Amino acid sequence: MFHRTASGRRLAYERLEGQGPGVVFLHGFKSDMGGTKAVDLEAWCRAQGRAMLRFDLSGHGSSEGRVEEFGVGDWLKDARDVIDALAPGRQVLVGSSLGGWLALLLARERPERWAGLVTIAAAPDFTARMQAEFTDADHEALVREGRITRPSEYGEDYVFSRRLFDQGAENSVFGQPLALPMPVRFLQGTADADVPIEDALRLLSHAEGPDIRLMLVKDADHRFSGPGELRMIREAVTELAG
């Protein structure tokens, strides 16, 4: 199914009717709502009779556009729009990688909306970390071409646009206080080559709230999609959804 946002973007989504609090899944960069974690979580929600919403951000999956045409601010608007239209009431936010960044921003701006927050290899401000490691050639490419590329272990090369970096700076998690009054579970693998453990520890230190836990999984990588990791995601959602 498709939802037309206030910005005019056409987003693909799947919605499961059921009891609340519902579950909202936010996928990662160059991923989509058909990923292993999202599909596994939907199967669990279906078995539990729990409502769930998953969708493709602009430029991803079956939604309109190309990834390089959008940035973090655009995807935040996507998420805000589709969740408000299709997931009424209190929800448990589940965000993976880039989706974790978006979930943190949503949780910060409207904390009363969320029954809980689960992030999986959350990657807040990853654009700032990338820029800190730029070579002179990277800076020149971004100015000259408006984009840089990086090889990916998951398929075709990643394309990172100037819009992504500009909007990343405008939507920093670490640049502002992060009050999270809802129960929060950060899940992170120790073998994650994309989001280092140091970033997860920094996030834990930066966030403020009464019930925030970081759960490290030895040897789990950025996919966080093995049977044990999927079980951990389900258990975290079960705990927060009640």
List active site positions: 97, 192, 222
Nearest to 75 by CA among 86, 63, 90, 91: 63
Cβ burial 210-227 (10 Å sphere, 16+ → b, else e): eebebeebeebbbbbbee
